[in-house]
Amino acid sequence: MTTSFDVACLLVELAGREPEPEALTPLRVQKLVYYCQGWALALLGRPLFADRIEAWRHGPVAVDLHRRLQAFEGGPLTPEKLGAPAAIPEIERELVGVVWERFRDLSASGLFRRTHAESPWLGARNGLPDEATGGEEITLAAMAAFFSAELDKEAVGGVTPRQAWAGYRDVLEGRVSTKADTFARLRGKTCTSS
């Protein structure tokens, strides 16, 4: 199974392909990894990785990833430092790429503010003072509910991102054979070809 470190390595690799306005620091990567997990729960219907995510003072933290990145605190993460990502299934690589494209323009502080305003982090913190370290788990159920609802708000042409992703999975897994079949399934109609 993919790990949070694998996802971090892939994000760092994606960031290294073009000039970035802000370096990928451990803080920024942690928030992006959290968004990858949330989107996987909403779009794939399963976690991207098994690592526990906790609601720390500075936002969501994948605990195993934090341990791996401690040596890099304060400095930018680069592919040379982290190494190449492990073999990640194609659909998961695509998902991480979509999340990267969606959130790449947000700085670490922008991601910090965003995650602090969202219900999974707020619910796990459950009224803790801002200066409290935290450590409560952000549950998969809380992330799945939040990210599913958020993505369902973004329908285009009557098709939500979750429906579009389901169509993409159908194509990758061979359940549909044509573009027409994919769009028919997205709109809840019966496929016309085999």
The two tokens of residue 148 are: 């599913």
How many domains does the chain divide into? Answer: 2
Query: How would you list the strands of the sheet with 53-56, edge to edge?
Result: 59-62, 53-56, 134-137
Same-domain check for residues 66 and 127: yes
Return per-residue pLDDT of the chain as tens, 194 residues. 899 999 999 999 999 988 877 889 999 999 999 999 999 999 899 999 999 999 999 999 999 999 999 988 768 999 999 998 889 999 999 999 999 999 999 999 999 999 999 999 999 999 899 889 999 999 999 999 999 999 888 776 676 777 777 777 776 677 766 666 665 665 564 444 43
DSSP-assigned letter for residue 57: T
Chain Cα centroid distance, residue 106: 14
Nearest Cα to 103, choosing from 19, 28, 3? 28
Same-domain check for residues 87 and 176: no
Same-domain check for residues 73 and 140: yes
Same-domain check for residues 122 and 87: yes
Same-domain check for residues 111 and 189: no
The two tokens of residue 74 are: 């304060």
Chain Cα centroid distance, residue 163: 17
